[in-house]
Amino acid sequence: MDLSRFSLEGKVALITGGSQGIGRAAAIELAKAGADVVVVSRKMADLEKVAAEIESMGRNALPVAANISKIHEIDKMMEIVKSRFDTIDILVNNAATSPAYISILEAEERLWDSIMNLNLKGLYFLTQAVARLMKASGGGSVINVSSVDGFKPQKNLGIYSASKAAVNMLTKSAAIELAPYNIRVNGIAPGAVRTRFFEALFVHFSANEAEAAIQKMGDKLPLQRIGLPEEMAGALVYLASDASGYMTGETMVIDGGLLQVSPL
């Protein structure tokens, strides 16, 4: 097998939500594969730590603080990026707001807007901005981080699930639109992964209670455990690289087998 097809040498990747969790893991693994990395999140202090780790590998890193749910901040961020790099070869749309458990009978407009503006609107318009660069430079790879909740409904997760289902469909439609420009669009749909968002679900538990609850959740899965951010990053490297060069419009489910035992 020619492992050089997984190399990202000479590529520039932009990762949103890049300071923690899946985004941070993606930034580190793409850098290990050879990419220079733009890491984007709201808090510069957290981004600078990730950037320092990337630079310690001999790669270039650019931390940019921006709120992707606001179009004018996307525009400002892109100006900063273009002042440093000629193009973006890889876009990982990872920024998202955490699930909000609330009944359709009680949800308010501001909750709908906060989730949709980040999970969907920001993703769409950042993809637009980066795809314009990719078109001019001959192509690239866009990867959307969705969720199993975009495939399977859960009680009281209607807004979040709808946002992720929309991301899954956007992955398909954008893949068709951008294919003539050698831009591939794919996604991953993680299940339960130990991130800050996931652990926030147990904020009212004691430490021991939280671990017991997490273990109980993991025991119900075929792999009998909750996933780790690093286990999502390998798929992102594959989708970013030439190894997946004939793949577009697909969303890879990475859920420890959840949808096998709890099918659609």
Q: Which positions are catalytic?
A: 160
CA 107 to chain CA mean position, Å:
25
- Report residue 217 as tokens: 């959740």
Residue pair 92/15 in contact (Cβ under 8 Å)? The answer is yes
The DSSP secondary structure of 103-144, one letter per residue, reads -TTT--HHHHHHHHIIIIIIHHHHHHHHHHHHHHHT-EEEEE
- Backbone φ and ψ of 84, nearest 5°: -110, -40
Round to whole Å and give the CA distance between 17 and 25.
11
The DSSP secondary structure of 192-259, one letter per residue, reads SB-SHHHHGGGTTS-HHHHHHHHHHHHHTSTT-S-B-HHHHHHHHHHHHSGGGTT--S-EEEESTTHH
Tell how strand 183-190 and strand 90-93 pair up.
unpaired
Round to whole Å and give the CA distance between 199 and 211.
10
